[in-house]
Amino acid sequence: MEKQQKSSHVVLVMVNFQGHITPMLQLASILHSKGFSITIVHPEFNSPNPSNHPEFTFISIPDKLTESHFSDKDAASPVWSLNKNCAAPLQQCLEKILHSLHHIAAVIYDTLMYSAQTITEDLGLLGIVLRTGSATTMLFYPAFSQLDEERIGIIIGIANTCFLDFVYEIKSPELEALQLKRLRALLSQNATKAMTEVRVAFANVLKRSSAIIVNSMEFLELEALSKVKQYFPAPIITIGPLHKFAPAVCSSLLTEDDKCISWLNKQAPKSVIYVSFGSIANIDKQELIEIAWGLSSSKQPFLWVVRPGMVSGSEWIESLPNGFEESVGERGCIVKWAPQKEVLAHAAVGGFWTHCGWNSTIESICEGVPMLCRPFFGDQYLNTSSICNVWKIGLEVQNLERGNIERTIKRLMVDMEGNGIRKRAIDLKEKAAFYLMEEGSTSCSLNMLIKRILSV
Ligand code: UDP
């Protein structure tokens, strides 16, 4: 594909959660390689390190977020506040860029920063949204798009009924396998006022943007994509998996501990269970203890990521039970943060116990690693359902009790019962590799995006 002139300028509006930073920087890197110059506008909290990306211009805007926003039980609260607090500074920032450059080819914003959509529209700019989750999650949003501000306060219960009606329209086997009706109960649990408002905003931003970029592969979510395309008028551009197009992007907020790679080098092929619950999910002390004993009695080597502060009330792993370290010896390796993509691609790794964040899910699929699923919140439940019921490449850990953990690890990694799961995971990796190699599908999506950007 022809490189564009450096004068075509794209502004990316990023939200600084790890699972959102990574795909946004990967997209930035891809567009930069095609000749676009890139400015990244982001809130102040969790700022990425600009010196890792000298090719981009970074602009930070005030977000007025405090610790209390993140400790709020309502997961929507920081997102809601972020949009409220960042709207005016973002508008000023875009006006300033426009004033100095005279032209912005497109503004690409994360769905979480939905306030960018109206600002972009008001400034007469092309607005494109990046979905960092699966295409399947978009099935949820049509149910929320009809709600106006006034009705949101009283509509929470009804919103879930709307969703149920929507679910009844689903006829295809793949979508039925997702067990969306079961997930409805989880939606009701989360239906606070802020959450409902945020969902309405997501639905509207997806409806009103000029294009929707999804970090996925067509073949992986074929039926969901075809359903979603009926509801959203904007073209849906599946450019994924982004980490395969921009593998060198350095985006970790925490320092990756490489010593786990030398430890992996000493382990037998496909023997290691890699355990990581991503960048946000927390566990309590008792859960840490159950996981520790479950891993110990599974007899499988394990690489376990425990982030500092991930265990409520602990600095790091000081709550590990007495006798645990002696019982596992060299068979276990615990780190604060791992080079995950390298870990998943390592020959010694035979299973991934994950919280099923979308990035982790798609990274695991690309390396053919079967998964144990322990979702914590949001789209992780839906991803679990795709992994266990649609692609059938994983098992759900139903409860965090040591005996159950031990049995589920064995079922996934060694038992005959896991043969089919392990084989399907390899098959899916091969399909993904073929999809990536194939002339057409991916470069066609990228061309579509570039055409869209240059169309204004
Ligand atoms: N990750 C990593 N090292 C770790 C744990 C996670 O590099 O020790 C990366 C992982 O590769 C993924 C991202 O952090 O790209 C987590 O994103 P995901 O969507 O899976 O979950 P989230 O953190 O948003 O809950």
What digits encode the pLDDT tens for the residues 52-85? 999 999 999 999 988 887 776 777 889 999 999 9
- Which residue segment(s) compose the domain that 213 sits in? 9-249
Classify residue 288: in a domain, yes or no.
yes
Best mutation site among 20, 79, 340 for ligand 1, i.e. most ligand atoms within 8 A of its Cβ?
340
- The preferred substitution site among 132, 359, 366, 380 for testing ligand 1, maximizing ligand atoms within 8 Å of CB, is 359
- Residues 324 and 203 reside in one and the same domain: no
For residue 132 and ligand 1, the question of a CB distance below 6 A is answered with: no
For a substitution probing ligand 1, which of 360, 363, 376, 384 has the most ligand atoms within 8 Å of its CB? Answer: 360
CA of 425 to the centre of ligand 1 (A): 20
Q: What size, in residues, is the chain?
A: 456
Q: Are residues 59 and 153 in the same domain?
A: yes
Domain annotation covers residue 448: no
d(CA 285, CA 270): 29
Dist. CA 138–CA 206, nearest whole Å:
9
Give, using CA atoms, the residue closest to atom 11 of ligand 1: 340
| Cα–ligand 1 centroid distance for 278 (angstroms) | 4
Atom of ligand 1 nearest to the CA of 305: 8
Q: Which residue has the tokens 């943007």?
A: 209
Does ligand 1 lie within 6 Å of residue 358's CB atom? yes
360 lines ligand 1 (CB under 6 A): yes
- Mean pLDDT in residue range 396-421: 97
For residue 252, which atom of ligand 1 is closest to its CA?
A: 7
DSSP β-bridge partners for residue 40: 12, 58
What's the confidence (pLDDT) of residue 186?
A: 61
Q: Could you report the per-residue pLDDT of 99-123, keeping only the tens digit for each? A: 999 999 999 999 999 999 999 999 9
> Is the predicted pLDDT of residue 276 greater than 70, yes or no?
yes
279 lines ligand 1 (CB under 6 A): yes
pLDDT band for position 96 (cuts 50, 70, 90): very high
| Choice among 132-141, 172-181, 247-256, 343-352 with the minimum mean pLDDT | 172-181
Same domain, 272 and 420: yes
Q: Which atom of ligand 1 is nearest to the CA of 251?
A: 7
5 pLDDT band, cuts 50/70/90, is very low
CA of 91 to the centre of ligand 1 (A): 30
- State whether the beta carbon of 241 lies less than 6 angstroms from ligand 1: no
| pLDDT at res. 203 | 87
Q: How many CA atoms lie within 13 A of 93 on its CB side?
A: 21
Question: What ipTM score was computed for the predicted complex, to two decimals?
Answer: 1.00
For the CA of 281, the closest atom of ligand 1 is: 25
Measure Cα distances from 58 to 25, 38, 243, 300 in Å: 11, 9, 21, 44
Give the C-alpha separation, 225 to 158, whole Å.
Answer: 26
Confidence (pLDDT) at 1: 43
Amino acid at site 166: F
Q: How confident is the model at residue 198 (pLDDT cuts 50, 70, 90)?
A: confident
Q: Tell me: do 147 and 285 sit in the same domain.
A: no
Of 206, 221, 249, the domain-final residue: 249
Pick the last residue of a domain from 219, 249, 279.
249
- 287 and 429 co-located in one domain: yes
Q: What is the mean pLDDT of the chain?
A: 90
Residue at a domain's end among 249, 272, 300: 249
> Of all residues in the chain, what percent carry a pLDDT higher than 70?
89
Q: Do both 234 and 263 map to the same domain?
A: no
* 110 and 50, same domain (yes or no): yes
Residue 153 has pLDDT above 50, yes or no: no
Is any atom of ligand 1 closer than 6 Å to the C-beta of 337?
A: yes
Q: What is the pLDDT of residues 419-455, one digit of tens each?
A: 999 999 999 999 999 998 876 667 789 999 999 999 8
Evaluate whether 159 touches 147 at the Cβ level (below 8 Å).
yes
Mutation test of ligand 1: which of 17, 134, 258, 279 has the most ligand atoms closer than 8 Å to its C-beta? 279
User: pLDDT tens across 309-328, in order?
Assistant: 999 999 999 999 999 999 99
Sign of the CA dihedral 144, 149, 153, 155? Answer: negative
Tens digits of per-residue pLDDT, 231-242?
888 999 999 899
- Please indicate whether residue 338, judged by its CB atom, sits closer than 6 Å to ligand 1: yes
CA-nearest residue for atom 24, ligand 1, is 19
Answer whether 245 contacts ligand 1 (Cβ < 6 A).
Answer: no
Nearest to 135 by CA among 215, 202, 207: 215
CA of 116 to the centre of ligand 1 (A): 25
Please report whether residue 346 resides in a domain.
Answer: yes
The model's pLDDT over 356-369, given as tens digits with 9 standing for 90+, comes to 999 999 999 999 99
Q: Do 183 and 287 fall within a single domain?
A: no
Specify whether 285 is located in the same domain as 421: yes
| 456, part of any domain | no
- How far apart are the C-alpha atoms of 366 and 453, rounded to whole Å? 28
Question: pLDDT tens across 155-191, in order?
Answer: 444 445 455 455 446 678 888 888 876 666 566 655 6
User: Do residues 241 and 266 both lie within one domain?
Assistant: no
* pLDDT in the model for residue 16: 93
Based on the fold, state whether residues 422 and 297 are members of the same structural domain: yes
Question: Which residue minimizes the CA distance to atom 7 of ligand 1?
Answer: 340
Q: What mean pLDDT is predicted for residues 395-417? A: 97
| Predicted confidence (pLDDT) per residue in 16-54, tens digit | 999 999 999 999 999 999 999 999 999 999 999 999 999
| Total structural domains within the chain | 2
453 in a structural domain: no
Q: Would the CB of 340 count as within 6 Å of ligand 1?
A: yes
Whether the CA torsion 56, 215, 395, 269 is positive or negative: it is negative
Q: Is residue 441 part of a domain?
A: no
Whichever domain contains 45, its CATH number is 3.40.50.2000
Measured in Å, residue 271 CA sits from the centre of ligand 1 at 22
Task: Tell me if 385 is assigned to some domain.
Answer: yes
The rounded Å distance from CA 182 to ligand 1 centre is 26
Residue 306 lies in a domain: yes
For residues 273 and 241, membership in a common domain is answered with no
